[in-house]
Amino acid sequence: MKPLSGVNELRQVSVVYRVVIKRRDHRDRWIVEHGPWLSQENDADDWARIFQKLGYVVSVENMRGELSKPGLENPPEHQTATESA
């Protein structure tokens, strides 16, 4: 039996992290601020500790995404007129 196309292919997954800060404004309302995406979890944890020491409520979020395969960054059906010329 022939394996299905793509079943045995390994996927490359990228994970990025960011610090989310919660604080109260002068009206006692919660303000949520999202930091930049960081490539290393240790960097996000370090920033979270810094903000926590300053009195902020913090958490670290992550997002996983599949990396595109070489040569598939811009498939032919999505090329612009200048790229296909």
| pLDDT, the chain, mean | 79
Whether the CB-CB separation of 17 and 61 falls below 8 Å is answered with yes
**CB count in 10 Å sphere of residue 85:** 6
What count of residues does the chain have?
Answer: 85
pLDDT band at 65 (very low <50, low <70, confident <90, very high): confident
Both tokens of residue 83? 């790229």
- Encode pLDDT of 14-50 as tens digits: 899 999 999 999 999 999 999 999 999 999 999 999 9
Identify the sign of the CA torsion 41, 59, 67, 73: negative
pTM of model > 0.75: no
Query: C-alpha 4: how far from its chain's center?
Result: 30
